[in-house]
Chain A
């Protein structure tokens, strides 16, 4: 009888360990950002958006089942020139007043290959920018750092970290951003580089 109970407890422990972990991507250290880059006439327009939040569910035993949503506050996008930042937020470009959020909803991971604690895969999902939603595929690298939260925050703060990295390109015309305009001055392609970390404190 004892053996049966122990076996049940052991199997329960395995199931509990293998359960997906929810990671919160609102980073208290302010590291999370999406960098964007557009080629332009005099110099490339580069900037970042640090208003990142969202939840991602990750199972270390089954990385391919990763799911979740990442949100970016459109108003947090900035470049190094204040006037250009104002133009970027304006109605002709991102219209942040009417479309305050940029989102990526991860629907599935394909071609997932895991080496040590890092999974390389293609993230399929719905990307929404300026109110337009498109299905996109983003090559990503997901690194699971077990028990690393304490090192990054404060002693006694037990938990795991999940780092997501990816880079993809979108056509601004597909999202209604100055469609077909100024293409000789500003590239029609926007390159987005994502490097974000989520944390999952352990109770």
Chain B
């Protein structure tokens, strides 16, 4: 006859969702910090100040590269939270022993 054990086995879906949530959280934070931890909106082109030596005019050129902003970080954390919250709907399965 089988009886439920003291330590229930977590469901695979719950574990998978939590791993995805952890990945999303870590990836979004690491990527954001690695790209300069920009606290404004995301940028598709980065302004670079230049100086025209003859006239003394300071002007701006743009470097085409993506810099994630605060809404990118917020989105990543939001998606991670969503995955984690969804994982709560999957209950742990009780393990059965034959003793």
Binding site for A on B (CB under 8 A): 39-47, 50, 52, 54-60, 62, 70
24 contacts between A and B (CB under 8 A): A29-B52, A32-B59, A33-B59, A33-B60, A42-B41, A43-B39, A48-B47, A78-B45, A80-B43, A80-B46, A80-B62, A81-B44, A82-B44, A84-B41, A143-B55, A148-B54, A151-B54, A152-B54, A161-B55, A163-B57, A195-B57, A195-B58, A196-B57, A197-B55
Q: Which 7 A-B pairs have the closest CB atoms?
A: A43-B40, A80-B43, A82-B44, A152-B54, A195-B57, A197-B55, A31-B52
List residues of chain B with CB within 8 A of the CB of A50. 59
A100 to B57 CA separation, bound complex (whole angstroms)? 26
User: Could you say which of B45, B52, B56, B59 contacts A80, with CB atoms under 8 Å apart?
Assistant: B45
In the assembled complex, the Cα of A143 lies from the Cα of B56 at a distance in Å of 11
Interface size on A, residues (CB 8 A): 26
Contact in complex: B47, A80 (CB < 8 Å) = yes
Residues of B contacting A148 in the complex (Cβ-Cβ under 8 angstroms): 54-55
Find the B residue at minimum CB distance from A35. B60
A71 at the binding interface (Cβ < 8 Å)? no
Q: Is the CB of A31 within 8 A of B57?
A: yes
Collect the chain A residues with CB atoms within 8 Å of residue B41's CB: 42-43, 81, 84
Q: Which of A82, A163, A196 is the one whose CB lies under 8 Å from B56?
A: A163
Determine the residue in chain B with the shortest Cβ distance to A195: B57
| A145 at the B interface (CB under 8 A) | yes
Contact code string A8-46 (vs B, CB < 8 Å = 1, else 0): 000000000000000000000101110100000011001
| Least distance between A90 CB and chain B CB atoms (Å) | 17
Among A78, A80, A196, the one with the most B-chain Cβ atoms within 10 Å of its Cβ is: A80
Q: How far is the CA of A20 from the CA of B47 in the complex (A)?
A: 37
Q: For chain A, residues 147 to 180, give those with C-beta under 8 angstroms from any C-beta of chain B.
A: 148, 151-152, 161, 163, 165
Please name the residue on chain A nearest to B57 by beta carbon: A195
Q: How far is the CA of A31 from the CA of B60 in the complex (A)?
A: 8
Q: A32-B59, A80-B47 are in contact. List 13 more A-B contacts (CB 8 A).
A: A32-B57, A35-B60, A42-B41, A48-B47, A78-B45, A80-B43, A82-B45, A84-B41, A145-B54, A163-B56, A195-B58, A195-B59, A197-B52
Q: Quick one: which of B57, B58, B70 has the most chain A CB within 10 A?
A: B57
Q: Give the contacts of A81-118 with B (CB-CB under 8 A).
A: 81-82, 84
A48 to B55, CA, bound (A): 19
Q: Which of A45-86 contact B (CB under 8 A)?
A: 46, 48, 50, 78, 80-82, 84
